[in-house]
């Protein structure tokens, strides 16, 4: 019973119902209408929606069956793990079930029989949805907490990972970090990643089972010890850079690096008492919906915000189609107590009739032209309504005008094209000899070398004379005894000793072609 009361008190401030409605029907002087507020879903037990992965393969005990003992009973190794027997198996899902009174169910690793090779295990939790932590992460270990472990988080569904907290019985030795406590952090360091020794020391496996990531202690830096001043916390979350993101995750990973040692050094003669056993991982948080939803539902295997304010997306992270007259913005906790919805607006409704297709949040009236025009068009757009693409960009024909991808960069080849602009289908204007949409190719009879140049020779047309061969259309490789651009000139002219045996052939080309070549090759006059 005392436990239950404590739990209720514990949950109270976070369940207090701030920002829990998105809109209400109100009556004003102009008649009834909707009023909109910033809103967020309730905090939930996130372990109910998680997928788990345990690495490396073969780290879960029981295949083959294995005996183990405990630190309390090191010489009574009668406990058995057997994956093929439901009563003796310890699969990962037992970290997320509901515990019956007094009877813990747990995932268990193999024992440290490969000592001194380290006993390493990763437990990765994925939600495929960004969630905001609202309470401590609590990991419960049976048979002792690891002497070294690390918590990591991802914000992008596991593509990149960042350290979240380090845990060791000796932080300096394990991570070369000084030991710190979250309680000692200040308002400016509330999102610091630190190493703590509080949850790794041996205190008997029954007495101290939990390893925490302290969300509450961090909130308390702003909201006071009982989290009474949540307004201050919300103000800080809104204004302090990176603070909101610090409490946001899509995935968590526990890296277990060294098991409990029972308060002493590793005893090689009995390695069956070293292993990891996790009975519960409690993660409390809410779906991140950018303050545009107060409901989050589990559909098709994923959490999904039920977006209001004419927003859409898994996190309500963009405006609905036809509601993009200004750019999307997250709702704000400020001003207190109801915040700002920053709702998406229907095209044409935002600023009289100045439509900016969602590429600008501002319009301005230009007095001497008597027009209202969008200011600072984003997404490479320009124009009174941000309806054109900037120079060097062209319209994506498969995108709506209010799409962020509506303007595509021309990407004209700098050498091959006349300038960096292109026509409506993305074609650049090419210099002589260049071709292709981006002018990065050469027309036939031209070769590429920092631009397109007309071919000097061509093997097919046999332009190189006297047995010369054409090298990359750029020049003729002449046999000994001949020189000139097309090997047309006998070396005899310059050096009479070489003349013997040189074929006296003269060019066999028709006068027409020779005339053309002469035009192309101004240096070549010796016919």
Q: Does residue 94 bind Ca ion (CB under 5 A)?
A: yes
Rounded-to-integer distance, Cα 455 and Cα 436, Å: 18
Phi-psi region of 422 (alpha: psi -120 to 50; beta: other; left: phi over 0): beta
Binding mask 260-279 for Ca ion (x = CB under 5 A): -------------------x
Long-range residue pairs from 199-204, CB within 8 A, at least 24 positions apart, any chain: 199/145, 199/167, 200/145, 200/146, 200/147, 200/148, 200/149, 200/167, 200/168, 200/169, 201/169, 202/144, 202/147, 202/169, 202/260, 202/261, 202/262, 202/263, 204/72
Partner from Ca ion, ligand NAG, none binding residue 120, C-beta < 5-8 Å depending on class? ligand NAG
- What residues are paired with 45 via a beta bridge? 284
ω into 116 cis (within 30 of 0): yes
Q: Work out whether 105 is an interface residue with Ca ion (CB under 5 A).
A: yes
Q: How far is the CB of 36 from ligand NAG (least distance, A)?
A: 5
Whose structure tokens read 């809109």?
23
Give the span between the Cα atoms of 518 and 510, in whole angstroms.
Answer: 12
9 binds, among ligand NAG, Ca ion, none (CB under 5 to 8 A by kind): none
In 3D space, the residue among 53, 127, 126, 137 whose CA is nearest the CA of residue 314 turns out to be 127
Q: Residue 93 Cβ, how far from Ca ion at the closest point, in Å? A: 9
Which tokens in the block code for residue 28?
């004003």
State the DSSP H helix or E strand holding residue 221, giving kind and residue range, or none if neither.
helix 215-223
Please report how close the Cβ of residue 304 comes to ligand NAG at its closest, in angstroms. Answer: 6
Residues lying near ligand NAG in the complex (CB under 6 A) are found at 34, 36, 55-56, 120, 122, 128, 152, 161, 253, 255, 301-302, 304, 309-310, 314, 343, 346, 396, 398-399, 403, 405, 408, 423-425, 427
Question: If binding means CB under 5 A, how many residues of this protein chain bind Ca ion?
Answer: 4
Complete DSSP assignment for 163-200: EEEEEESSHHHHHS--B--GGG--TTSTT---EE-TTT
Confirm or reject binding of residue 92 to Ca ion (CB under 5 A).
no
CB of 138 to ligand NAG, least distance (A): 21
Q: What is the DSSP letter of 522?
A: T
Shortest Å, Cβ 62 to Ca ion: 16
Task: Name which of ligand NAG, Ca ion, none residue 152 binds, using a CB cut-off of 5 to 8 Å depending on partner kind.
Answer: ligand NAG
CB-nearer residue toward ligand NAG: 347 or 354: 347
Identity of the residue, 282 or 441, whose beta carbon is nearer to Ca ion in the bound complex: 282
Q: Which of ligand NAG, Ca ion, none does residue 105 bind (CB under 5 to 8 Å by kind)?
A: Ca ion
Q: Which is nearer to ligand NAG, 343 or 434 (CB)?
A: 343
Closer Cβ to ligand NAG, 323 or 482, answer by number:
323
Binding-site ranges for Ca ion (CB under 5 A): 94, 97, 105, 279
């Amino acid at each position: 019973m005392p436990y239950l009361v404590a739990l209720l008190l514990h949950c109270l401030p976070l369940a207090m119902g701030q920002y829990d409605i998105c809109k209400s029907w109100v009556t004003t002087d102009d008649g009834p209408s909707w009023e909109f507020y910033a809103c967020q879903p309730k905090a939930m037990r996130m372990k109910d929606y998680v997928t788990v992965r345990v690495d490396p393969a073969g780290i879960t005990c029981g295949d083959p069956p294995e005996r183990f003992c405990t630190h309390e009973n090191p010489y009574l190794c009668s406990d058995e793990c057997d994956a093929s027997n439901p009563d003796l198996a310890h699969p990962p899902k037992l970290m997320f079930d509901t515990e019956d009174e007094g009877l813990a169910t747990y995932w268990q690793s193999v024992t440290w029989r490969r000592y001194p090779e380290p006993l390493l295990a990763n437990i990765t939790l994925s939600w495929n949805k960004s969630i905001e932590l609202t309470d401590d992460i609590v990991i419960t270990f049976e048979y002792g907490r690891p002497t070294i472990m690390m918590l990591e988080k991802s914000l992008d569904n596991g593509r990149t990972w960042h350290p979240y907290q380090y845990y060791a019985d000796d932080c300096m030795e394990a991570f070369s970090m000084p030991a710190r406590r979250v309680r000692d952090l200040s308002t400016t360091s509330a999102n610091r990643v630190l190493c703590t020794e509080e949850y790794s020391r041996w205190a008997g496996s029954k007495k101290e089972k939990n390893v925490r990531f302290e969300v509450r202690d961090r909130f308390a830096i702003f909201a006071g010890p009982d989290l009474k001043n949540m307004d201050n916390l919300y103000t800080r979350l809104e204004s302090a850079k990176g603070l909101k993101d610090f409490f946001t995750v899509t995935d968590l990973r526990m890296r277990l690096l060294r098991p409990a040692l029972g308060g002493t050094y590793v005893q090689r003669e009995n390695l069956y008492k070293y292993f990891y056993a996790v009975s519960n991982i409690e993660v409390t948080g809410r779906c991140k919906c950018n303050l545009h939803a107060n409901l989050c539902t589990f559909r098709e295997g994923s959490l999904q915000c039920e977006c209001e304010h004419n927003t859409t997306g898994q996190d309500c992270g963009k405006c609905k189609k036809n509601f993009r007259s200004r750019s999307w913005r997250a709702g704000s906790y400020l001003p207190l107590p109801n915040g700002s919805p920053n709702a998406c607006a229907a095209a044409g409704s935002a600023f009289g009739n100045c439509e900016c297709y969602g590429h600008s949040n501002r319009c301005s009236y230009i007095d001497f032209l008597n027009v209202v025009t969008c200011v600072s068009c984003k997404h490479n757009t320009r124009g009174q309504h941000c309806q054109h693409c900037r120079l060097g960009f062209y319209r994506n024909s498969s995108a709506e005008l209010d799409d962020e991808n509506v303007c595509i960069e021309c990407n004209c080849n700098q050498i091959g094209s006349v300038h960096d602009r292109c026509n409506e289908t993305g074609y650049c204007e090419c210099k002589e000899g260049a071709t292709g949409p981006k002018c990065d190719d050469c027309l036939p009879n031209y070769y590429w070398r920092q631009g397109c140049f007309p071919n000097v020779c061509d093997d097919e047309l046999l332009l190189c004379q006297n047995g010369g061969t054409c090298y990359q259309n750029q020049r003729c490789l002449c046999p000994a005894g001949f020189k000139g651009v097309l090997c047309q000139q006998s070396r005899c002219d310059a050096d009479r000793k070489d003349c013997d045996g040189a074929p006296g052939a003269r060019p066999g080309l028709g006068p027409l072609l020779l005339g053309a070549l002469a035009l192309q090759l101004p240096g070549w006059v010796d016919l």
